[in-house]
Each structure stands twice: as structure tokens, then as C-alpha cells.
A = this chain, B = another copy of it.
Amino acid sequence: MMRTRPLKVALLGCGVVGSEVARIMTTHADDLAARIGAPVELAGIAVRRPDKVREGIPAELVTTDATALVKRGDIDVVVEVIGGIEPARTLITTAFEHGASVVSANKALLAQDGAALHAAAEAHGKDLYYEAAVAGAIPLIRPLRESLAGDKVNRVLGIVNGTTNFILDKMDSTGAGYQEALDEATALGYAEADPTADVEGFDAAAKAAILAGIAFHTRVRLDDVYREGMTEVTAADFVSAKQMGHTIKLLAICERTEDGTSVTARVHPAMIPLTHPLASVRGAYNAVFVESDAAGQLMFYGPGAGGAPTASAVLGDLVAVCRNRLSGTTGPGESAYAALPVSPMGEVVTRYHISLDVADKPGVLAQVATVFAEHGVSIDTVRQQGKDGEASLVVVTHRASDAALGGTVEALRKLDTVRGVAGIMRVEGE
């Protein structure tokens, strides 16, 4: 049954992920061949720095000319693990033009130009697979676009960035502040020297765009995703969260709006109940919680980054794409037929935890409650704590739109008796 002519793979990038892909392709060549039905051969590896020592990587395969590699014409599958927009985008498009299918781990590119890349793949009758682009090794793209293809997904709630989960978990378990926890993450290699992409939520927002697109069969671009980082989360926020039996996670949230006519996608820190399965996701692990009509509540958990886990996802895609080529077909392409509008953040409906510094005198609570009522935001609980003429008021609301909450907060700031709004955090997962 086994074909003897090997399928040829071009690897673009040989960093943490690429070198693991190359290593596994070499050491597990027999298993891959048996699972695909034909041997796979690493035909070339494009790198930026050809002189770097790469253990186990055959020097004769290394080239700095990625364009020539994807243009060779005999390449079956291009594996793109360079990251970033260019040259990855041009190389992928060129690969399709020259007859190759593509496996990519590039979340930024998929989130920004997914539609165009899918169109290019389809125009050339090729596959574009990208399981590794979201949540590393965790099978998520395939379950969403294949296993749940007969179901209606209503919500995706995910911890999709390991760096920020490590930091928040550290703050939660030790009472540390943000900076202290970030420093530890950096020292341990969980955070990069410039942690902006992680802590400001850019990385999670790209993943949210990809997940929302697949979950709702609708094109969702990075620009459609509301994004708020987690650098403002304080130790005091964790104390507040604990008081109501919650913890704080940076979440990527993709939802259908209540009437089902549009969708939303957002990334921000949020309080979630300790009883929620996502609450116990520790350290740099990722997990994605999916709610659908028929399946109910599902969760997928695992390492969201790292060379070997990401390589596992890349290789799973490589096996699938190779099998498709052998049988002369392609897997499921982009599914955007639903084409639902993406609503702005103001229309997102959720609950809020608001801490106010107020004057400790009679009537303050009545004033504050009036402002909430005037803006149509219903209060669930209020907790009042006072000392020395100063007091704090913690309000947890029922569900209200982001716009209504914004209006409420603006009006609260204008009250004489409100000294300041110490914190606003969304409450999710209930």
C-alpha cells in the first residue's frame, strides 16, 4: 500500500519550533510514513542565519533563499514557522502558486490576512492548515472546524496566552503585584524581554480573531477584536476577586450576541468563579472552554506554547495535508458562509465588578445606586467598607452592555461623593 516516492517538505524557519519539527521528522520518519501512507522527506530548510550551529540538522538542506525553496516546484508541503507578516505572507502565497500546500503556525498572519490566504489556497486547490497558530499543542482548530461541524457554537472562552496566565497565577497564589510576577516570568523564560505582545493582549487578540472566525463561520479580523491588556491588574483586584469566590484570568472571549444576529470578540482580564474549569488552569498552561447548542460545555487543555508542543500541532497538520495530497483532495477550507456582523464592544453584554472610593457619609450609597439605575444597569450586590471618613464601595452588577456600564462610570466620576473609581473588571463564566 505504501507509496515509495517521498512527499517533499520545505521548512521555513528553524528556530525553537522549526528545529523540533525537523528533529521529529527525522527521528520518527517511519511512524510518519506509516501514518501518511508514504515517506516524507525534508527537502530544504530556509533560515536567516545559515552559520548558526543546529544540532541534528543536515547542513546541506539549509538555505537562506526561502523564495527559491518554495518555487522549486517539487515541494508538496511548505511548513511556515517564521512568524510575523512578511516575508511569511509572500512565501505562503508563492508556495500555493508553485503547487504546494501549507502548514503554518503564524497566528499574527492568519488573524490579519486569513481570508486572502484561504482564498489563495482555494484558488490553487491546496490546503492551508494552522492548528499550531492557536494554543500550541492543544487540538482546537480541528475540533472546532470538524468535530463541531454539526453543532452550533455559541461561545468560546479561552486562556490562550501562557505568559499572562503564568503572571496572573503567580499573583493569585502569592499575592504578588504585577511587576514582581512579571519579573519572575521573565527570569524563568516565560516572558520575553519585551513582553508587550503578551501582556497587552495582542497575542491573545490574534488567537481570538482566528477562533471566532472558525467558531461562527464568519470572517473576524484582528481589528474586530476589542483588546485590553492585564498590566493594570493589581494585588487588590485579586483580593476583591477572592472575596466573591473568583479569580482573575486574561480571557479571549468570542460570543454570539443574545439575539444571534451578530458576534463579538474581545480580550481582557476578567473575574471568573473558582468553580469554573478555567479557574484551575495553572502556570503557563492554556485552556479553551467552548459552549455549543448540542455538545454543551467542552474544555481543551494543554501547553499553549513551546517548541515541542507547537511542533506536535504542526506535524499533525503535516500528516493530514500529506494524506490529502495522496488522495488528491483537500481538507475543509475557510468556512465563512454565515458572514455575521461583528458588533463593537459597546454592545457586549456581561457583568461588572466596580470598586469606588467614596466619602464615608450617609446617602452615598443612595446616590451611587441612582446613577446605576439611571443608566439601566441593575445592581446584583453592594459591599460597603468604611474607615476614617473614607470608604470603599464594591458593586457587582447584573448583565449590562459595555456602553451602559461606560455611561454609568462616567456619571459616577462626576459625583462629589465619589473620590475615584478604583477598578472596573468584567465578570465572566457564570
Interface, chain A (partner B; CB < 8 A): 20, 24, 28, 31-32, 34-35, 131, 137-139, 142-143, 146-152, 217, 277, 280, 292-303, 306, 308-309, 311-320, 323-324, 327-330, 332, 335, 337-338
Q: A34-B337, A142-B142, A332-B323 are in contact. Are A277 and B293 (CB under 8 A)?
A: no
When the two chains form their complex, are residues A137 and B295 in contact, meaning their CB atoms are under 8 A apart? yes
A204 to chain B, nearest CB (A): 20
When the two chains form their complex, are residues A302 and B294 in contact, meaning their CB atoms are under 8 A apart? no
Q: A149-B319, A319-B149 are in contact. Are A312 and B294 (CB under 8 A)?
A: yes
Extra contacts, 13 of them, besides A28-B152, A35-B337, A150-B318 (Cβ < 8 A), are: A139-B139, A139-B142, A139-B148, A146-B316, A146-B319, A148-B312, A150-B314, A277-B280, A295-B302, A295-B303, A295-B312, A295-B313, A296-B302
Shortest Cβ distance from A25 into B: residue: B150
When the two chains form their complex, are residues A298 and B150 in contact, meaning their CB atoms are under 8 A apart? no
What CA separation (Å) do A306 and B294 show in the bound complex?
10
A41 to chain B, nearest CB (A): 15
A113 to chain B, nearest CB (A): 22
What CA separation (Å) do A338 and B34 show in the bound complex?
9
Give the top 7 A-B pairs by smallest Cβ distance, nearest first.
A150-B315, A139-B147, A137-B295, A294-B312, A139-B143, A295-B312, A149-B319
Contact of A316 among B20, B148, B316, B317 (CB under 8 A): B148
What CA separation (Å) do A280 and B287 show in the bound complex?
15
When the two chains form their complex, are residues A316 and B150 in contact, meaning their CB atoms are under 8 A apart? yes
Contact of A327 among B311, B312, B330 (CB under 8 A): B330
Shortest Cβ distance from A138 into B: residue: B298
What CA separation (Å) do A28 and B143 show in the bound complex?
19
Q: A149-B320, A316-B147 are in contact. Are A301 and B298 (CB under 8 A)?
A: yes
When the two chains form their complex, are residues A294 and B320 in contact, meaning their CB atoms are under 8 A apart? no
What CA separation (Å) do A330 and B37 show in the bound complex?
13
Shortest Cβ distance from A20 into B: residue: B294
Q: Which B residues lie within 8 Å of A313 (CB)?
A: 147, 295
A382 to chain B, nearest CB (A): 31
Q: A316-B151, A335-B34 are in contact. Are A294 and B308 (CB under 8 A)?
A: yes
Q: Which B residues lie within 8 Å of A323 (CB)?
A: 332
Contact of A34 among B151, B217, B302 (CB under 8 A): B217
When the two chains form their complex, are residues B35 and A335 in contact, meaning their CB atoms are under 8 A apart? yes
Q: A35-B217, A146-B316, A332-B323 are in contact. Are A298 and B152 (CB under 8 A)?
A: no
Contact of A315 among B35, B294, B298, B306 (CB under 8 A): B294
A336 to chain B, nearest CB (A): 10
When the two chains form their complex, are residues B152 and A131 in contact, meaning their CB atoms are under 8 A apart? no
Q: A147-B316, A302-B296, A303-B295 are in contact. Are A31 and B139 (CB under 8 A)?
A: no
Q: Which B residues lie within 8 Å of A327 (CB)?
A: 329-330
What CA separation (Å) do A297 and B35 show in the bound complex?
22
When the two chains form their complex, are residues B152 and A31 in contact, meaning their CB atoms are under 8 A apart? yes
What CA separation (Å) do A137 and B297 show in the bound complex?
9
Shortest Cβ distance from A328 into B: residue: B329
Contact of A299 among B293, B302, B309, B332 (CB under 8 A): B302
What CA separation (Å) do A139 and B34 show in the bound complex?
24
